[in-house]
Structure 1
Amino acid sequence: MRKIFLVDDEMAIRDGIGKSINWENEGFIYCGDASDGELALPLIEKHRPDIVITDIQMPFMNGLELSHILREKFPSIKIIILSGHDEFEYAREAMRIQVSEYCLKPVSSQDLLTILQKASAQIDQEEKNEQRLLHLEYQVIQNQQANRDQFLYELCEGLYSFSDAMKKATKLNIPLISEYYYIIISECSLDSTIDWIPRNYSCIRFSRKIRESIFIMLGNSKQQLEQEANSIRKELNEHSKHIELLFGIGRVESRIQGISLSFTEAEEEKNNAKIIQKYRTEDMNKTLESHIDCKQMNRMQLLEFLKTGKVDDINHFSSNYSAFLNSDNIRSQLTIYYFIMDFTITVTHYLKDEESISDNPEIIQKVSHLEHKASWVRNYTDVLNYMENMLKLVLSIRKNKAISYTQTIQLTVNYIQSHYHNSQLSLQTVSDAVNISASYLSHLFSQETGTTLIEYLTNIRIEKAKELLLKTHNKTYEIATQVGYSDSHYFCRTFKKVTGLTTRQYKNQAQKEFFEYVEDTP
């Protein structure tokens, strides 16, 4: 429906026009009126009418002055002038302003309605013409884009000589001249994941299918482009930890003909990554789940040993935990590889969750050194040596951390770890168990550990909940009860507050991180 605004200094005319037409039935909205142009302008800007009906002779600002301003500020508004003066100069000025109609008063409501319908039809036609023009422009742009993408893809396929490539690029207005080139091919679900590449680097971007982007990277220094490619690779690897992303990067090449060589390498890397991802995901799930279901490899046992095991028991534990690998039917290199990865991830997650390595560069270096050795494990003897060295390191870290507690705090920690599943556990019950006042224990615990006792208890319960989420098929309410929460809703809120994730999100993310770790390991 078209909106109508009326400007006339005679109230009787404004009331007469406003009430003489059933606006809604005729397809219009009467959005307002004013007694002169000066008062009308802010109202017109507010209501944005499609058609303005205005008198010529008015105080402060007459209709012609108003029409001049409307034509400059709102060129799409149709202007209908009602005049009581049959003067040539007025009519000529109205024509110059390109008003839609110039009518002499008095005008009947039917005549005015006919004029409004004519103006409305004119607006309809102009809008159709504009849409048609936009559609044509869009088609031209689409055709140009298709021609551009087709040329760039054919260039990457090596179908152009240098001379032909430069001629075609010039015709399509593509800045192709450069001393060195390399190719990046990415496939991801969100464009925002890779939009930073064209913003930060000199490149030409195009695509050949949905979700895929191809970048022809440009530069005048081979060394600079190689450093750039390494930086981009690290950034894309980081993104791939949080979103589904496949990519390949080709080597830096000189000359136009080198583009096809770099493109082939990038495509091979991306395709290989896709195959490896699918293979690892399916095969690893199948392999590891079969062992877990058979209770041949139980991460719960490993976590328990990491927390309470003794150095003298490391050899025995390692042999028992990995015993299934020593059987004749499970000696494949792939199974050993997956076992070592699972073991390593469990250990490093334990250390990070315990905050044992985050602030100690020396420990970080030792752990990283052992992790690198994982790729050299080839047989069962190597497995045992690797496990024993890693477990000795963890137990030594745990021992050093435990020494820092006073005897009272250690007793408190031990009591909480043994009774966290009790929903009635509180500061008072713990203080009673270690035989000191609740207020003194609260102060001492905060001073020694840097956290409150209740926060520590909450973290213990959430860590136990994490284990149960990953290692069992228990329902959320069952896990809540097992870790000391009588109210499952309160448990879910606490879990989200501590981890930033729901229980389902945590379980999904943990599995995803596991596969990403395996993929990134040499």
Structure 2
Amino acid sequence: MLRVLIVDDEPLIRESLSSKVEQYSEETVVAGTAANGAIALKWLDAHYADICLTDMKMPIMGGLELIGRVNERYPWMTTLVVSSYDEFDFAKSSMRLGALDYIIKPVDQQQLDGALARAAQEVSSRRRAEASIQLMRSLPHHQSMVRRWINQMQTVQFETLPLLVVDTLDMLESLAGERFYLLNPLSMAWLEMIVEELKKEKVRIELHEGKDLGLWEKTIPQEKVRSYFRLCAVRRLEEGAYRIFAVSKAMKDHPTRRAVEEVKDFVGKHYAEKLNLQEIADQVAISRNHFAQIFKQETGTTVWSYLIQIRMGKAREMLLGTDKKVYEIANAVGYDNSVHFSQVFKEQFGLTPAEFKKRMER
């Protein structure tokens, strides 16, 4: 997910640019707007953004000064400039300051899309390169974690994956430091390294980076930036691990596998409801006991354990991404009793909901 700050002194243009930016991609959102550079810097002091899309001529502080200040204070950001034909000298100056592209008003959707695509590529490439260098430098100190991952992937240990992910996240955060935006590329670099190790065992895996949709609001306060990127990294590590699990088991297209996939889909949509094994087995017209055996054989875990994993995963996202109370989260994922919910959560993650939130946000 890329968050854009739009800076222009004309309200109608800010509104138009906001609409055009969000038409580009569901993964590119407008996090905030400002009427001049001074207001933009004040907004950035309190919120997070990846891209600054700014006009040149504005009262109090124009685009050139804003770009210089952004470069100094927020070096992870990329800047795009929008301005008029008669301001070409500003365009040249903005490029010298590192602006990635210059877009002429009135802004054409196709032209803006191209600029945003280049900005997204620039952000991704720069961060992936930084993460790869950081990981390679530290890898000799983390061989025990590498071996732990390889062993767990090869033996398909679903039950202890949440603890492995949390421990891995702590390790990656020690490499990122205050650069929380590096947690995403660090997670992908880690997974790719594990995949390379597994190739030695003739396991071939193709990883795809997941999306961060639905994990947070468009605007992220500075005090929540760390929590947001930690949550994104957890999702990447978990999705990557499940992909590796699936390939490691080399599951073939077979009627029993299709039944299991149908049930997974059903559980994913109805996890908040009161489910029992018979009701779940009924979805694929297989007897309860036989289906339980098939599910365990195909996935390495029981149906009930899988349901709990889905519920706890959703609970974790709500715990970190919303202000809901524990009892509200419990109800939202299918538990009437918040005490029982907390016990199950602790069994899954090794920490109570309150302890887990404190650890993720500390």
TM-score bucket (shorter structure): 0.3 to 0.5
With normalisation by structure 2, the TM-score equals 0.39
With normalisation by structure 1, the TM-score equals 0.28
